[in-house]
Structure 1
Amino acid sequence: MGLIERINEVDQRVSEACRRSGRNRNEVNVIAVTKYVSVDQTAAVLDQGILHIGENRWQTAKEKWQALGERGTWHFIGHLQSNKVKDVVGRFQYIHSLDRLSLAKELEKKAEALNLQVQAFMQINISGESTKYGLQPEQAASFLQEMNRFKHINVVGLMTMAPFETSAEDTRPVFRGLRQLRDELNKQAITPEPLTELSMGMSNDFEVAIEEGATWVRLGSILVGKEEN
């Protein structure tokens, strides 16, 4: 299956998931995760109108960003080490992995120096897996309160990664848990504006994530293919 066919199939599946859950298709954004494909394949994705590009390491994103950075909106979706903040802020408009105060301080410092706003998702470890990064759900409210003092970080929502399950349906409690946590945080009115975004769902489970309220899904091989750099 070629790129155009994959894009059309994904769009159809997103649309059907929205229909099943009574949502507007425009509420769901697709991020093309390009970490395993070349500059040329990433350019081809952009050519087809998929303008949100996701990468999880600056080392593998650098060549693509240098060639194509002006063409899309770039999302950093991996664990972000504090010493890599200098490479990411100013190039990636969204950070999906804000999970600790030390990282927030580095993001604020760099964003202030560049006089820009970082759009950030708080990463939450809903599943409780020891192998996954993220705040525990019970830490979210106090962490969000702390974020109010960082003037160059705009927390737009929450992100999580579900366990890989043979049946996508088994991931539903994780995605539902993130949506419920976002709604609980909004009831507490911790931030000046409500959190609106949920970054959740990958190639194997994105339809369930959409049914549970995802506004951003992160799709790799199912969308961009498996070409190696």
Structure 2
Amino acid sequence: MKDRIQRIEKQIREAAEKAGRNPDEIRLVAVSKIKPAEMVKEAMDAGQKIFGENYIQEAVAKIEEIGSTSIEWHFIGHLQSKKSKYAAGAFALIHSVDSLKLAREIDKQAAKKGVVQPILIQVNTSGEKSKSGTTAEDAVELVREVATLEHIAVKGLMTMPAFFDDPEGARPYFRELRLIRDRIAALGFPGVEMKELSMGMSGDFEVAIEEGATLVRVGTAIFGARDYSAR
């Protein structure tokens, strides 16, 4: 696993340098969903610092077992409002806030715990009905409204484009997210930091980096294929 992580980090550096970017601006999120805690610990031993989870109960169990003193946990999956009580305060970053309803519930739960929860707004740049996310057209207004919530801190945007055999197919969707980020940043909403762009996975993260990604979510290339029948 150490070799796989080092290979991905090398690819990240090379993609950043190709795009004239500082490699230190880009962080690797190791997507550990459906993988046992033992594999997370192995990745930690190899130097990995950020882990992304998709399923709240599984994530909470891993956090309880492993802790979060030396690593960051990010929630990257679809989050139901009713499960916000488990997510608020448990994650360094929630990538997948796609509605004002969800944001308000996270804010409510974070207030109960006396914390400010960092989040990203998820934008469905591909327009696929099967994917979560606010529309590109509504993203600005959603950020404007979420910015008024006291126990949430908007740190940027996230997207998950359609799958393409050729990673170049995803480039327009990554570029669109960057342009949306730039438009929102120019508006200067109080308390909003358009610092992070979470985009790119195992098959297309190099293209995402060329288009401005600061967080790339890589699972299969680190942990191997997943057996969803085990869920």
Q: TM-score range by the shorter chain?
A: over 0.9
In the aligned structure 1, how far is the partner of 2:141 from the partner of 2:26? Answer: 28
State the partner residue of 2:146.
147
61-70 or 4-13: which moved more? 61-70
Alignment of 1:55-204 (within 5 A): 55-70=53-68, 71-204=70-203
Task: Map Cα deviations across residues 29-85 of structure 1 (whole Å, 9 max, x no partner).
Answer: 000100131111111111222111100111222331111122421100000001111
Kindly tell me: are residues 4 and 99 of structure 1, through their superposed partners in 2, closer, same or farther at Cα, counting changes over 3 Å? same
Calculate the TM-score normalised by the size of structure 1.
0.95
Partners of 1:104 and 1:63 in 2: CA distance: 23
CA distance in 2, matches of 1:14, 1:119: 24
Q: Secondary structure at the match of 1:182?
A: helix
Mapped partners of 2:123, 2:6: distance in 1: 31
State the Cα distance separating 1:101 from its structure 2 match.
1.2
Counterparts of 2:190 and 2:96, CA distance in 1 = 18
> In structure 1, what is the Cα distance between the partners aligned to 2:129 and 2:224?
30
SS at match of 2:197: strand
2:18 maps to which of 17, 20, 36: 20
Shift in Å, 1:189:
1.7
SS at match of 2:57: helix
1:227 CA displacement? 6.8
3-state SS of paired residue (1:204): coil
Aligned match of 1:39: 37
- Residue 221 of structure 2 aligns to a residue whose secondary structure is helix
Q: What residue ranges of structure 1 are gaps of 5+ in the alignment?
A: none
Distance in 1 of aligned mates of 2:123 and 2:31: 20
CA contact (8 A) 1:38 1:227 kept: no
Aligned to 1:221: 220
**Residue 4 of structure 1 aligns to which amino acid in structure 2?**
K
Q: TM-score normalized by structure 2?
A: 0.94
Superposed displacement of residue 226, structure 1: 3.7
- Decide whether aligned partners of structure 1 residues 62 and 189 sit closer, same or farther in structure 2, where only a CA change above 3 A counts: closer
CA distance in 2, matches of 1:143, 1:159: 13
Whether the 8 Å contact between 2:167 and 2:203 is mirrored in structure 1 is yes
Work out which structure has the larger RCO, using CA pairs closer than 8 Å and 6 or more positions apart in sequence: 1
- Cα distance in 2, alignment partners of residues 163 and 5 from structure 1: 29
Q: Give RMSD over aligned pairs.
A: 1.4
1:147 Cα shift?
Answer: 1.3
SS in 2 for 1:213: coil
Secondary structure of the structure 1 residue equivalent to 2:102: helix
Separation of aligned partners in 2, 1:177 and 1:141: 13
Q: Which runs of 4+ in 1 moved over 3 A?
A: 191-194, 226-229
